[in-house]
């Protein structure tokens, strides 16, 4: 039964992409993608409910475990929300209407690659899945074919491919370290390397992990390898930005977490976790500095993504059941919340005809419903109560104080305060200041209206983020404990 659901969750987006390509009909492509996204979300939730330890399928190439199932839920939730939003948003790009079937084909294919990544049991095939996400999403980043979007797409593929090349080198070193113990030919699965790790050369595994950390850290948007992220997130269509931030970054962070378990098993040294925590803290610092001074509305959201990937890096670096629970809870809440933020940014951009904070004013009057949802999302994304990110960050701080990385918790607390002040100040200007007028010449489009398609997914994202802020279901504690047991390791 599980195998059938796994086939369903990976095959349905491919079917939607095929329908878009074959029919070349905008409405058929829209609704095929929307149905595929809904089916994927249902399948991901079913799989998460029925996960019971790690199981493999397809001759050991497919891994179904709790961490992969949770990442699937986050990915499919964003895919579903972004698919709803895309129906309304992409129709406003009237000059691109003939190309919309191609957009939806790429969009569904992008979802399929992200869904496949967490299910890959072979570390080499996992690398291929991550590289495929880059190749497909590059065309989505540059979909609008403007000068800035084309430049962002080139920067994205060059920087990320360079990082992924380092991840490939790290993967090869992990294979080499394993071959010295197991033999020249063996299955490069996560479990095989974990079991062989205690006999593997510690120095070689550390070097391999650092390469993997930099490589997949580039994909995850950790500073200082984050340079592609602000451009790609700000220049791609809003539903693509939501997918990049709310789903793609998680798939790369998952790889870092799994490679960390191999490194932990190979050596008792705390150095790998220390480096991961340092990357997380530095990402928060970079995000804070740029958020305070940022003027591009979607770039503001992009640097917020750097911040939250830093939070995830801290949690995985801390280790232990409480930190892992906080990380996974944060992952879901960030995926939902950041989708909401990019939807709100897309609405404002289309209505005001600008990407600049200074050109967006009187949001209360111009966008009474979606503007209120966007403002609530802005409060939530900064980690303020009573929303889910506050609860996950508070839990992460509790876990961090129980480790030798208490200094990182202090850094986290200080920078979160700075980010809150800087982020909310931008929204204060957009909501309370009256300067600014509607413009239509900034991005080459005429201002559009915000319909139900562009408001509904904001509600669907905000409600669970609010609920998770006041109620942490006990069932999730048991699920997160299962993930922590699979990952192993503990506070250092």
pLDDT score recorded for residue 426:
94
- What percentage of residues in the chain have a pLDDT greater than 70? 96
Torsion of CA 241, 245, 250, 255, to 10 degrees: 80
Task: Report DSSP letters for 362-395, one per residue.
Answer: -HHHH-HHHHHHHHHHHHHHTT-TTSHHHHHHHH
Q: How confident is the model at residue 91 (pLDDT cuts 50, 70, 90)?
A: confident
Instruction: Report the range of poorest mean pLDDT among 29-33, 140-144, 166-170.
Output: 140-144
Question: Distance between the two ends of the chain, CA-based, in angstroms?
Answer: 39
**Which is more confidently placed, 236 or 335?**
335
Closest alpha carbon to 91 in 355, 460, 448: 448
What's the mean per-residue pLDDT of the chain?
A: 91
pLDDT tens per residue across span 33-74 = 999 999 999 999 999 999 988 899 988 899 999 999 999 999
pLDDT tens per residue across span 456-468 = 999 999 999 999 9
Structure tokens given for 119: 């299910």
> Mean pLDDT throughout 18-28?
94
Residue 257 has pLDDT above 80, yes or no: yes
Q: How confident is the model at residue 420 (pLDDT cuts 50, 70, 90)?
A: very high
Q: How confident is the model at residue 435 (pLDDT cuts 50, 70, 90)?
A: low
pLDDT tens per residue across span 274-293 = 999 999 999 999 999 999 98
**Which is more confidently placed, 439 or 420?**
420
β partners of residue 56: 63
Q: How confident is the model at residue 95 (pLDDT cuts 50, 70, 90)?
A: low
Handedness of CA 176, 181, 186, 191 (dihedral sign): negative
- What percentage of residues in the chain have a pLDDT greater than 90? 79
Rg (CA), the chain: 21
Residue 445 has pLDDT above 70, yes or no: no
For residues 294 and 357, give the distance between their C-alpha atoms in angstroms, rounded to a whole number.
8
Closest alpha carbon to 387 in 453, 309, 470, 487: 470
pLDDT tens per residue across span 184-214 = 888 899 999 999 999 999 999 999 999 999 9
Show the 3-state SS of 425-488: HHHHHHHHCCCCCCCCCCCCCCCCCCCHHHHHHHHHHHHHHHHHHHCCCHHHHHHHHHHHHHHC
pLDDT tens per residue across span 105-131 = 999 999 999 999 999 999 999 999 999
């Amino acid at each position: 039964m599980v195998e059938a659901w796994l086939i369903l969750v990976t095959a349905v987006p491919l079917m939607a992409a095929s329908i878009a390509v074959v029919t070349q009909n905008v409405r058929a492509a829209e609704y095929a993608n929307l149905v595929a996204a809904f089916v994927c979300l249902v399948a991901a939730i079913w799989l998460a409910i029925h996960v019971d330890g790690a199981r493999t399928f397809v001759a050991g190439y497919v891994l179904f475990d709790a961490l992969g199932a949770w990442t699937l839920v986050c990915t499919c939730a964003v895919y579903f929300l972004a698919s709803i939003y895309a129906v309304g948003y992409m129709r406003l790009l009237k000059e691109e209407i003939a190309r919309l079937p191609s957009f939806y084909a790429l969009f569904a294919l992008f979802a399929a690659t992200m869904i496949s990544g967490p299910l890959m049991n072979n570390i080499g095939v996992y690398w291929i899945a991550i590289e495929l996400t880059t190749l497909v999403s590059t065309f989505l980043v540059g979909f609008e074919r403007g000068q800035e979007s084309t430049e962002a797409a080139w920067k994205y593929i060059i920087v990320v491919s360079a990082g992924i090349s380092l991840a490939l080198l790290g993967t090869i070193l992990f294979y080499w370290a394993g071959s010295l113990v197991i033999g020249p030919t063996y299955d490069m699965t996560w479990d095989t390397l974990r079991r062989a790790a205690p006999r593997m050369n510690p120095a070689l595994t550390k070097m391999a992990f650092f390469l993997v950390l930099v490589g997949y850290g580039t994909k995850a948007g950790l500073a200082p390898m984050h340079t592609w992220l602000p451009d790609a997130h700000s220049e791609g269509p809003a539903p693509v930005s939501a997918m990049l931030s709310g789903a793609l970054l998680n798939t790369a962070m998952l790889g870092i977490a799994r490679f960390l378990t191999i490194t932990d098993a190979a050596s008792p040294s705390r150095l790998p976790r220390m480096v991961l925590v340092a990357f997380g803290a530095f990402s928060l610092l970079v995000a804070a500095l740029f958020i305070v001074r940022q003027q591009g509305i979607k770039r503001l959201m992009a640097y917020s993504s750097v911040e939250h990937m830093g939070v995830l890096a801290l949690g995985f670096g801390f280790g232990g059941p409480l930190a892992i629970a906080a990380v996974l809870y944060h992952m879901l809440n960030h995926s939902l919340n950041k989708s909401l933020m990019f939807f709100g940014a897309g609405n404002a951009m289309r209505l005001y005809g600008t990407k600049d904070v200074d050109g967006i004013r009187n949001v209360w009057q111009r966008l009474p419903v979606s503007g209120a949802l966007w403002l609530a999302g802005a409060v939530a994304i900064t980690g303020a109560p009573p929303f889910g990110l506050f609860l996950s960050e508070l839990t992460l701080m509790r876990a961090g104080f129980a480790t030798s990385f208490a200094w990182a918790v202090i850094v986290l607390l200080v920078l979160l305060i700075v980010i809150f002040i800087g982020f909310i100040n931008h929204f204060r200007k957009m909501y309370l200041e009256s300067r600014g007028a509607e413009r239509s010449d900034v991005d080459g489009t005429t201002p559009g209206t915000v319909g139900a398609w562009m408001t509904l997914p904001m509600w669907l994202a905000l409600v669970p983020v609010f609920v998770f802020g006041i109620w942490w279901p006990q069932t999730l504690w048991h699920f997160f404990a299962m993930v922590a047991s699979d990952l192993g390791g503990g506070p250092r």
